[in-house]
Amino acid sequence: MKKIKIFEYDCMLFFLTQGFSLISLNIYTKNVKTDAYLIPIIGTIIGIIPLLLFTKIKEKNSKLNINSLNIKIFGKIFGNIINTIFIILAFIIGAYIFFILTNFISVEYLYKTPLNFISFAFALPTIYILTKNISIISRSIVILIFIEIILFITSSLGLFGQINTHELFPIFQNNISEFFKTVFLHVSFILTPLFFLNIFSKNEIQNSKNLKKHTIIAYLIGNIVFFLTIFFNISILGIELIEVYQYPEYEVLKFANIAGFINNLEPALAIYWMINLFSFIVICFYYSKKSILQITKFKNTNKFNIFFSCTVLIICLLSNNIFKQFSITNLFIVISFIFICIIFFLWIIKNSN
């Protein structure tokens, strides 16, 4: 059994918290206007309870990953049905984020290039990395996190001087129920992808003694970055301009200015979003790959890799056509999160029995 390092696990957790950050700003500002920057603060506090619950179950069943645990608790038939649902969920979320990635590149960089061509270009490295084993994937993610840190710090330094606190008001002008609905949506955006990390049992992580501590720290860092993204956007662009642009996260980078002479950095700094989404997609598809292998007990890995690569390629190419017409609603993510919570709840009941 190949093990991953705890730091690699933390990096994966960080990327999973960022998956929906590129689309969440528009959704939050549409729902709660200026209060959008308060959503990650409240959401982080509320979200820590289910996160601790997830970690506790993982620690209790240290030898079993999610698929084995489902089979153990719900039996072979029901367990496999639930596992299949989770695999489909991982494919749908992965494909949706892939669509967001290609659409983002198409809108902001390659507006004259066909979307399918961009999809194909990004599907190839995704497929290639998925043919490798987990130690290579996790090491790649660690390299990406260092690039990510440099880009985020550069963006923050460039944007810090442009903050206009006047734009952060008025607050609490919306319906309180709308505010908490959006908080719940944020919790779903953060915690639904984190569920895919359960593909690693506790024993598959090196030095997993401090797993709870590491999980909480990575979760908090992910949420702080999420908050800062929304904070910079609202305080610099203002909610009126945010509503005008499709990707305000890219537009705000046009204001980045370091020491008065380093500017026009947005094409380079926006690579941050591409790394975020790419890593997220890889983890989602890896979850599906490992789960299918575990359920089907496929022995010929080469043949399986070809089959899985073709599936991912088809999904990636179809994602543009499907999600252009049927965009995933927020409700889908919320329902997925509720479904995950129900499964966890049933685990707890069955475990206590």
Partner 1 sequence: MKILKKIIVLFIIFMLTGCFDYKELNNLAIITKMAIDKNGDEFEVSFSIENTKSNTESNIIYTAAGKSISEAINNIQLTLPKKIYTGHLSIIIINEELAKNNLNQLINYLIKSKEYSQNFYLALSKDKSSKETINEISNLETKLSKNILSDINNEITFSDFLKTLIKPGIDPVLPVITIKDNTIDVSSTLALFNNYKLVAFSNENQSKGINLIYNKTKEMIIPIKSDNKNIATIKLSNINTKTKIKNNTIININIKENYTIKEINYEIKKQTINEIKNKTKNEIKKLIQEGIEISKNNDIDIFGFGNMIYKNNASYFNKIKDTWGTEFKKINPNIKINLITDDNLQQTTIKENNNS
The residues binding partner 1 (CB under 8 A) are 107-108, 111-113, 121, 124-125, 127-128, 131, 166, 169-170, 173, 238, 240-241, 244, 251, 254, 264, 302, 305-306, 309
Omega before residue 50 within 30° of 0, cis: no
Q: Which H helix or E strand runs over 85?
A: helix 66-108
**Least distance from C-beta 180 to partner 1, angstroms?**
20
CB 110 to partner 1: min, Å: 9
Q: How far apart are CA 312 and CA 310, in angstroms?
A: 5
Percent helix, strand and coil across the chain, each to the nearest 5: 85, 0, 15
**290 in Cβ contact with 83 (< 8 Å):** no
**Minimal distance, residue 244 CB to partner 1, in Å:** 6
In 3D, which of 209, 191, 201 has the Cα closest to residue 68?
A: 201
CB nearer to partner 1: pick between 80 and 257 = 257
Q: How far is the CB of 111 from partner 1 (least distance, A)?
A: 5
- 194 and 17 Cβ atoms separated by less than 8 Å: yes
Residue 95 and residue 116 in contact, taking contact as beta carbons nearer than 8 Å? no
- Min dist. Cβ of residue 148 to partner 1 (A): 21
Nearer to partner 1, 84 or 164 (CB): 164
**Nearest distance from residue 251's CB to partner 1, in Å?**
7
Spatial distance between the Cα atoms of 250 and 271, rounded to a whole number of angstroms: 10
Nearest CB to partner 1, comparing residues 113 and 207: 113
Considering beta carbons, is residue 223 or 309 the nearer one to partner 1?
Answer: 309
Which of 65, 21, 29, 49 lies closest to 216 in space, CA to CA?
49
What does each C-alpha distance from 129 to 102, 152, 309 come to in angstroms?
A: 18, 24, 10
Of the pair 86, 285, the CB lying nearest partner 1 is at 285
Which is closer to partner 1, CB of 10 or CB of 108? 108
